[in-house]
Structure 1
Amino acid sequence: MQSFLLSQEMTIRFAFFGGLLALLAAWEVASPWRISALPRLIRWRTNLGLSLAGTLAVRIVAPAAAMGVAIWCEAREVGLFNQFAVPLFLSLPLSLLALDLLIYAQHAIFHHVPLFWRMHRVHHADPEIDVTTAVRFHPIEILVSMGIKMAAVAALGAPPVAVLVFEVTLNAMAMFNHSNVALPPRIERMLRRVIVTPDMHRIHHSVRGDEHNMNFGFNLSVWDRLFRTYCDAPCGGAENLRIGLDAYKGTEPTRLFWSLALPFLGGARPNEASGEQRRENA
């Protein structure tokens, strides 16, 4: 079973990724939250290019990634759940919850620690938000994130199937909550009680520092509510929400090589208020 999961991991993940990308892209065309002001092809080329670079980086540095760690730990009884022989019906949901909390905490840290923010601002520099923004991360951030995830999987002794389910779910939910789709308000409010919706996560991509430092969750919305980082609605209403970072409002973020170079350039700091906020606070 382990060897099958490891050998088929990329196939399973790519199948879910490709299918959901096509589905959400079609939904964005049929019922967009906001009409794009930029040619989709230009942004997609850069966002998907960053995703490909990150995937290649992980496969070169850590070919087996988190799944390989889970299989290795299970075979050698390493990690909390393996040490106490926790049955799968408990270790599976507990692993999913623990890993989701880890991603929430990591995301918050990446916003508040300057070194990590240099990498993470590549994600926030996207001047618009759609399904491809979900995979717009610098390769170095992808490597750091994978290292943290691998350490957590080893400490937990998370079962391989839980790691695979979490990876697929995280990718799918990130694509969903970054998508440029309009949900009926009643359905959106119901979903938001449990999961992170597009309306909720768009606030996190606001140019305002007090808004993009809120709503850190990717899967469950409970973490933001529990740790008081939940923002219900953007200042000025959703129709006036401005996406991106004020420091990078030109066409540079739509360029692949500029985006790859961004962590090494000067610029915006964590929690830096936009010009709009500074005028309001003056």
Structure 2
Amino acid sequence: MEALVTHEPTIRLIVFFGILIGMAAWELAAPQRRVEIPRLVRWSNNLALVALDAVLVRFLFPVVAVGLAVIAQENGWGLLNQLSIPTWVVTILAILALDLAIYLQHVLFHAVPVLWRLHRVHHADLEFDVTTGVRFHPFEIVISMAIKLLLILALGPSAIAVLFFEILLNGASLFNHSNVRLPPKLDAALRLFIVTPDMHRVHHSILPSETNSNFGFNLPWWDWILGAYLAQPSAGHTGMTIGIEQFRTKRDLWLDHLLFQPFRGPASGYPINRTSQKPEDDN
């Protein structure tokens, strides 16, 4: 377990860059949408935000998800550590529970205006590609990590389950935010098990009714069960507008504007409890 905690950052970093490079190459080879904004502008600022997020998490949290899972397991904390069932069953239950929790957290960030201010940094990207999948405001990352740590304490998943889930979630986010073209039949088949780029792209539509659908990052089942699934955007994948009504200039893509975006303008139109309003009507 100590070795797992020691090497966890290296394992995740290798997988992250491997998937990032692979999906970037795929985007170049078979893009779904035409790229209008130079990649250098977006990628440099999106990835700078990722680096800042990583540094902040390491600074603020003496222990992160896998490390806390080891501590919980050693002390018998959490629901799953009280159950006498096979390890593989516990692992599956832990991954499903963690995925559902992340899904519900995502919905919460769309429902509460003050949290939407943080999450809209992710949605305000004017293109949809692999770097969008890791573009989150540092305050959102800190809140997400705090929620995840509390969930691990309550649930008591194994360190292996948490490591696998972290890698799966991160990899899935890079995959399903990628600007890649999949054959329709393959996309339909994959949607039975994972969230595909076409499925999640709907969630990044400028239309609030489409933004507030397809919340899943990894498993597609929660959207089906909870009635949030939307198969396709009304304008089609090549015709839809990506982003939100606010922050549509190229200057808004720069790191300094991303960091201060939550404090600018109203939390308009997009929060779930305000979907009946037009953004310009929300003061």
Q: What's the TM-score, normalizing by structure 1?
A: 0.94
SS in 1 for 2:189: helix
Alignment of 1:233-248 (within 5 A): 233-248=232-247
Alignment of 1:219-230 (within 5 A): 219-230=218-229
CA distance in 2, matches of 1:5, 1:236: 46
AA aligned to 1:139 is: P
Retained in 1: the 8 A contact 2:127–2:243?
yes
Retained in 2: the 8 A contact 1:122–1:263?
yes
Alignment of 1:102-251 (within 5 A): 102-251=101-250
Equivalent position of 1:258 in the other structure: 257
Q: Structure 2: give runs of 5+ residues left out of the alignment.
A: none
CA distance in 2, matches of 1:78, 1:118: 34
* Residues 1:128 and 1:182: Cα distance change in structure 2 (over 3 Å): same
* Residues 1:140 and 1:153: Cα distance change in structure 2 (over 3 Å): same
Residue 85 of structure 1 deviates from its aligned partner by 4.2
AA aligned to 2:163 is: L
Counting aligned pairs with the same residue, the percent is: 46
Equivalent position of 2:30 in the other structure: 31
* Residues 1:58 and 1:277: Cα distance change in structure 2 (over 3 Å): closer
CA distance in 1, matches of 2:277, 2:78: 48
Equivalent position of 1:41 in the other structure: 40
CA distance in 1, matches of 2:124, 2:235: 21
Retained in 2: the 8 A contact 1:208–1:277?
no
Retained in 1: the 8 A contact 2:205–2:240?
yes
Retained in 2: the 8 A contact 1:246–1:275?
no
Residue 268 of structure 1 deviates from its aligned partner by 3.9
SS in 1 for 2:180: coil
The range that moved more, 121-130 or 63-72, is 63-72
AA aligned to 1:87 is: P
Equivalent position of 2:16 in the other structure: 17
* Residues 1:15 and 1:274: Cα distance change in structure 2 (over 3 Å): farther
SS in 1 for 2:246: helix
* Residues 1:277 and 1:233: Cα distance change in structure 2 (over 3 Å): farther
CA distance in 2, matches of 1:240, 1:277: 21
Q: Structure 1: give runs of 5+ residues left out of the alignment.
A: none
Equivalent position of 1:70 in the other structure: 69
Query: Cα RMSD (Å) of the superposition?
Result: 1.7
Q: What's the TM-score, normalizing by structure 2?
A: 0.94
* Residues 1:177 and 1:242: Cα distance change in structure 2 (over 3 Å): same
AA aligned to 2:238 is: E
AA aligned to 1:5 is: L
Retained in 2: the 8 A contact 1:170–1:219?
yes
Retained in 2: the 8 A contact 1:6–1:64?
no
CA distance in 1, matches of 2:48, 2:199: 26
AA aligned to 2:64 is: A
- 1:128-170 CA-to-partner distances (Å, cap 9, x unmatched) read 0100001000011001001111111111110000000000000
